[in-house]
Chain A
Amino acid sequence: MTRKQGATMLDYVKKESSVHSLDARAKLALLAAFMLAQIFAPLPYAPLFFAATIAFYALARIDFLEVVLARKALLLLPLIPSLLRLLFEKGTVEIAGMAMPQGILNGCLNFVFLFSLLYTPLLFALTTAPSQVSLALRFYGMPKRWALIFSVAFVSVSYIQRKAERTLVAQRARGSSGNALALMLPILHSCFRRARTMACSMAARGFDADEA
């Protein structure tokens, strides 16, 4: 496998590690259990889950910091609700005899909670080949059609990102300073065209969506 690490949002990064070699079905079950535990555990436990997430990345021999830096835009997802909590939650809490604004504490904990909630499934995507994802989803009863959609979606994220980069370069070469519409239209057009032709190619290779 030759994809560069951190090259695109959901790229599978092939490495020799215990996380990579774990069966996709077992990995998916563990992921679901871990995420449920995260969701239902009280917020003060969030740092523990965060530490566990970092430990999983280390086990997978994937540089966590590199993954985060290569996907900076993802940080907005935990950041925005946490900031809202930080700014608008009222009251104080006492920690080790010191009074602390509740908004700051809960905002920080909320960020840590959402951060690890986001990066744990990302680790699953980074360490599991799309075909294995598809097989695991089917094992847990997902219809073939939906499992394949997930698998194709995983690969398509990389395609869209690369297409966006190429389009941006082409627009800049023609003097554009980054008009969002000029970027989005060719990407959308390309995605629809690719989806159409891919559907034809899959049908021509015997994939029957109605049967799946």
Chain B
Amino acid sequence: MAKKEVLALKGLSFSYAGKAQKALDSVTLTFSEGEFVGIIGPVGSGKTTLLCCCNGLVPKEIRGKFEGRVKFLGNDLARMGFPEISRAASMVFQDPNDQIFNLTVEEEVAFGLLNRGMPRDEALAAARAAVARVGLSEKLHEDPSELSSGQKQMVAIACALAADSRVILLDEPVSSLDWRSSQEVYSILDALAREGRTVIATEQDTSLLSRHATRIIVIDQGRVAADGSARLLTASLIEKLGLRPPAAVARRRKK
């Protein structure tokens, strides 16, 4: 049975204000429920811009020349406000330091829920549950800015979990994590996809994505260079993009 289409990007092109070069060029993609999509590509290829289009940050907050349409469950994102979009899609930014500003982990995670008008008690309870899911319950009342990089990233992921949205966007979520924490994050993402949520993560390291993502999209110079299963990550493509190959590809190359 075909899975329900959740997010549709049609003919997206974007260039940042004051720059002639296109960060995205005629990108058309659809994402279905329960899909775990990995977006890979070299630095500056447009991965983060693509994620920011998925939750309306481009062009609502990040200005530039934008063309195309983004639809969430058939509704045009351009006509939705951020409180409404945040119910549809939540995002984990690459550097958690850029998003943390509350004084306790609990309040940081509850921030998005309070913006939706959720009663404070309920928001804090949901925040506690999300924090427990990323294994930081003992840090609930601590200052998030005092946590380690990995723990801060877990707080950012807890913010996305608490949002309980249909689509979860992650911009290089494990770039500041050690191997064990990276595995934990990907286990959580696997579980979210199994629950029927659409998980879209960008990474430069293809190893984890190739093992967990059900679909890989390769972005190069703002265009979709390839879209398919992890098997499309061939040695020649990875070499062309200048990425680190997943272990399986590296082994095949050695043979």
Residues in chain A within 8 A of chain B (CB atoms): 1-3, 12, 129-131, 151-152, 155-156, 158-159, 193-194, 197-208, 211
Contacts and interface: CB of A to CB of B under 8 A. Distances in A.
Interface of B: 52, 55, 57, 60-62, 81-83, 85-87, 90-91, 93, 95, 97-99, 101-104, 107, 111-112, 115-116, 141-143, 145-146, 159, 163
Contacts of B95: 197
A206 B86 contact: yes
Given A129-B103, A131-B102, A199-B61, 7 more contacts: A158-B145, A194-B98, A197-B95, A200-B52, A200-B93, A203-B60, A206-B87
A198 B96 CA distance: 10
Contacts of A203: 57, 60-61, 82
Contacts of B82: 203-204, 206-208
Given A197-B93, A204-B55, A204-B91, A211 B159 contact: no
Contacts of A204: 55, 57, 82, 85-86, 90-91
A146 to B, nearest CB: 16
Given A207-B115, A208-B115, A198 B101 contact: yes
A177 B111 CA distance: 42
Contacts of B103: 1, 12, 129-131, 155
Contacts of B98: 193-194, 197-198, 201
Contacts of A193: 98
A159 B90 contact: no
Nearest to B96: A201
Given A203-B82, A207-B115, A1 B141 contact: yes
B81 A211 contact: yes
Given A198-B99, A199-B61, A205 B55 contact: no
A2 B143 contact: yes
Nearest to A199: B61
Contact of A194 (B55, B97, B141): B97
* Nearest 8 Cβ contacts at the A-B interface: A206-B86, A205-B112, A201-B99, A197-B98, A206-B115, A206-B83, A204-B91, A203-B82
B143 A3 contact: yes
Contacts of A207: 82-83, 111, 115
Contact of B107 (A12, A131, A208): A131
Contacts of B62: 200
Given A2-B146, A211-B81, A205 B141 contact: no
Nearest to A205: B112
Nearest to B81: A208
Contacts of A199: 61
Contacts of A205: 86, 90, 111-112, 115, 159, 163
15 contacts: A2-B146, A12-B103, A129-B104, A130-B103, A156-B101, A193-B98, A198-B98, A200-B57, A201-B98, A201-B99, A203-B82, A206-B83, A207-B82, A208-B82, A211-B81
Contact of A201 (B93, B104, B141, B145): B93
A197 B97 CA distance: 10
B145 to A, nearest CB: 7
B86 A3 contact: no
A3 B146 contact: yes
